[in-house]
A and B are shown apart, each in its own frame.
Chain A
Amino acid sequence: MPEAEARRPDPSISLILRPKWLTARARAMANERGRGARFFLLSLIGALFWVFIYTLLYKLLVYFRGVPDLGPFLAGKLLGMILIGFFSILLLSNVITSLSSFFLARDLDLLVGAPVDWLKLYGAKLLETGVNSSWMVVLLAVPMFAAFGSAYHGGWLFPLLVIGVFVPFLVVPAVIGSALTLILVNVFPARRTRDILSVIAVLAAGGIVLLFRIVRPERLARPEGFRSLVEFVTVLRTPTSPFLPSDWVQRAVLSWLQERPSLLPVYLLWTTAAAAFVLGALLHWKLYPIGFSKAQESGERWARGGGFGRLGHTLFSPLGILRRELVLKELRLFFRDTTQWSQLILLTVLVIVYVFNIKYLPLKGEGVTFFLVNVIPFLNLVLAGFVLASVAARFIFPSVSLEGRTLWLLRSSPMPVRQLLWAKFWVGTTPLLILALGIVFVTDWLLQVSDFMFAVSVMTIAMMTIALCGMALGFGTLFPQFETENAAQIPTSFGGLMFMIASVGLIAGVVVLEARPVYGYLSARLYGTQTSPGEMLFGFGAAAVLCVAATIVPIQVAKRRLEAVER
């Protein structure tokens, strides 16, 4: 068929990626209610975040510039640490994203079945992986480099240099991440790989946080803690690793800012990126067909937890048939989804770090007053509240959205919507309540607070946890993401942002309302003044009313909203 041979189709990378672009555009242009307000709010928060990062770094760098001799080392060390952080995040993010874009995406059946050249497919999917994994790092990098550029007078060519070094810096982890995933998929089935990766990712992230905390970096801020100045300077001068792209970016940027431009790191970055792309493409050519075929294998066959089913059946029997089955279903879905429960590891790490911080607070010895020891656990409630809000955003907020595809079953059954919300609320709230009370018990014990403060902190954290869970469920139903399959993406949606803003409002409201009676009590203990029962009643009563309202109102709104959902 010479004629057919002559007209062999060869779809371009831009054609392969066109549906992604059109989908993103359609989503952005969709005529949804409140789109303008949403866009405005997100832009405002984004701009404030940029200004905050920029100002913080700029002030720090200007301070470093004023430090004789050590200043450049400090700035270099700071840039190096940020860049190595970026590189680690990019690598991890690319590994996880590439699993989805190269092996599990819905468009793959169409693309792999179509006459698409393997190199074009690799290029398109690598670009998709890179963009999806890197956009957040790029957004963070903009104010960071802007601060470096303006603090050290980088000139108008500095942004071009940054683009020139940052693009290959993004390419390298994208290629390495995709290649790692490709190898993993060839060893394990794709769906198993997803489970393994989610656990590895969470363990890695948790490990980094834990290690960082145990090292106690705050000691670095005090050079007097080092044996000699030489030792301190040596630590600062040591490059992170001369073979890492982050180090090359650091050297390229610093040499430019110190007016001794060096092109070697730029060459290294571009040549490494090019070589990585070629090697990655070769690996893709060799292994992708086998890996993709393996990825089509179905998921796990056998269910875990038969014993749990029988135990749960007995344990939840007093709830009645409907509630028992709803609770069991929620628990089964949660514990069988590795991507969900693996987050628990990260949560445990966060809690350990949290307790660790409290343990090392310098609250003993001279100058530490009864007032300080008792105010800390009260302020501790704010931090604990934020931790709980983020946990609720991660686990409870997405729960209604995850019902999206199965809503037909729930809506066509005679089950009242309030029962579904009841089950979701208590399945989410109970562990969170145990966690919250556990944190407060342990930290109060470490701080050896008074009985009054102990009672206040326990009651407050319990009410706040219940309210935060109610709000998470309510906001999650009001801003559902029924089409999203990945639960991890749901809390980062606009609704998730609104929930976090509302949570901050609730925590602030509770703390402000309780501040006056707590202050009154501590003053009475310190100066022997009388406490005012009216002040106590009003402060704690209003905080309780706020928490009850924040629990009930969102759930009621969610109930009405869910009853009106048509899917």
Chain B
Amino acid sequence: MISLRGLTKNYGSFTAVDAIDLEVPKGELFGFLGPNGAGKTTSLRMIAGILRPTSGEITVAGVDLLQDPIGAKQRLGFIPDRPFIYEKLTGSEFLRFVAGLYEQDGPEVEHRARELLALFDLEDWRDELVESYSHGMRQKLIISSAFVHRPEVIVVDEPMVGLDPKAAKILKDLFREYTRRGNTIMMSTHTLEVAEAMCDRVAIIAHGTIRACGTMADLRRSAEAGTEGLEQIFLRLTGENAARELVEVLNA
């Protein structure tokens, strides 16, 4: 469903994403893990068609994103990590606007928008301006907007940021149900427990390259980690030793 071939992004002399190859099949919930600045957001924004790759290919639902961006984007929904939306629109106006961007309207869209708002407890806020929403409410509205046009693929950057436990649980259930119906989700997260519990497969990215990719069992094998959890595998594969230095820092 998502296919990346030699995906590279340079900012001047700095390489943010370095020749990534990846296949995410239909119906899979794929996790993208990595430390800050590893290249996760850049990769996801390239897949969403916001950033243009320096080189490489991106295929979404069989459509080449660079050759036919409109066709690829029609099949895709994107949830960014920062909930910037039009402050002077109401929640329901925003969802209607997003559906309009995908040339969808009518009673079906209205019904879907109402259902999504109700799912995330935003029903009472549907006619209120977004500027009065809290950070978490805005995040929930953006998540709803990614589903309102029924995409086949959803790309999510840090989905749990700002969500309360109830909304986080709803989102997990929604993602599971959505992939069970044959759709695909690619998400980045810092919450290793979320990745471990939710994702069918995980890729660990550091310094713009994929260090390991596969199921939890695959990752344990490649990291020779025995029965270690994802956190230990993550630290081992990304070479991060900051956590181990924590006590030293606190003592300093």
Contact = CB atoms under 8 A, between A and B. Distances in A.
B105 interface: yes
Contacts of A298: 131-133
A203 B48 CA distance: 45
Given A406-B85, A411-B50, A299 B103 contact: no
A412 interface: yes
Given A303-B89, A306-B127, A322-B103, 6 more contacts: A303-B93, A321-B103, A408-B84, A413-B102, A414-B102, A567-B50
Interface string B119-152: 0000000011101110000000000010000000
Interface string B98-127: 111111110000000000000000000001
Given A322-B103, A332-B93, A411 B131 contact: no
Interface of A: 191, 298-303, 306, 309, 320-322, 324-326, 328-329, 332-333, 336-337, 405-416, 564, 566-567
Contacts, number: 100
B88 interface: yes
Contacts of B86: 329, 333, 406
B214 interface: no
B87 A299 contact: yes
B32 interface: no
Contacts of A414: 69-71, 73-74, 101-102
Contacts of A566: 50-52
Contact of A413 (B73, B80, B90, B131): B73
Q: Which of A325, A333, A406, A407 has the most CB of B within 10 A?
A: A325
B72 to A, nearest CB: 8
B84 A410 contact: no
B40 interface: no
B173 to A, nearest CB: 24
22 contacts: A299-B132, A300-B129, A300-B131, A302-B127, A302-B128, A303-B128, A321-B103, A322-B103, A325-B100, A328-B97, A406-B85, A408-B80, A409-B85, A409-B101, A409-B145, A411-B50, A412-B73, A414-B73, A414-B74, A416-B70, A566-B51, A566-B52
Contacts of B99: 325
B27 interface: no
**CB-CB nearest 3 A-B residue pairs:** A325-B100, A405-B84, A299-B131
A326 B80 CA distance: 21
A125 B45 CA distance: 38
A327 to B, nearest CB: 10
A322 B101 contact: yes
Contacts of A328: 97
Given A325-B96, A329-B97, A411-B50, A300 B132 contact: yes
